[in-house]
Amino acid sequence: MTEQLSIYRLEDLSVNYWVRGIFQPFPQVTIVDEFPSEPVTLPTISIEEGKMSEEEYELGNRDGIRVRRWFIDTFAMNKSQRKDFGYKLMGEAKNGINVYDYNEGFPPSASPSLINHLNVISRTFDPIPVVRNLNSTLYYRGQLILITKNDKV
């Protein structure tokens, strides 16, 4: 018997596949599930999970509402590409992120079932200034911060 992935891990994977789906038409974009180490291959997008909290949904319900934070960093070749990545992610985040049951398998060989949805309750894109004399490799970085709440309990 294999151990099932937790809902937290399914959410992690769903955010990762969501970003990959957005940038699938651009095979030159590298997507990683952690903050990249030097040197960064440009362009790169990294996904990090942040703070998570749970709230009681209703008396007696063991499944609370999860509020999670995600950090999606973009490492671009120039200012325009950084803006394009940021605007694309901000726009796509309006509809939230579907959570799939990857216990059933992974794309492209499987089409996992939809089991939850992350409603994006806050989204912020912050262009991070380039400090030319501190960076050995010049790149343009931006960070999208998403705060999500599961809305399908």
Determine the pLDDT at residue 125. 97
Domain spanning 7-150 has what CATH number?
A: 3.30.2000.10
Determine the pLDDT at residue 149. 94
Q: Any idea which of 16-20, 53-57, 64-68, 77-81 has the lowest mean pLDDT?
A: 53-57
Continuous segment of H or E residues that includes residue 9: helix 7-23
- pLDDT band at 151, cuts 50/70/90? confident
Distances in Å between the Cα of 50 and the Cα atoms of 79, 88, 147 are 26, 21, 9
User: DSSP assignment, residue 34?
Assistant: S
Q: Are 44 and 30 in contact (CB under 8 A)?
A: yes
Determine the pLDDT at residue 47. 97
Torsional class of 105: left (φ above 0), alpha (ψ -120 to 50), beta (otherwise): left
- pLDDT band at 130, cuts 50/70/90? confident
- pLDDT band at 39, cuts 50/70/90? confident
Q: Which residue has better confidence, 59 or 147?
A: 147
List of residues 6+ apart from 138 with CB closer than 8 A: 130, 132
- Rounded to the nearest 10°, the torsion over CA 20, 108, 33, 53 is 90
CA distance 133 to 139: 12
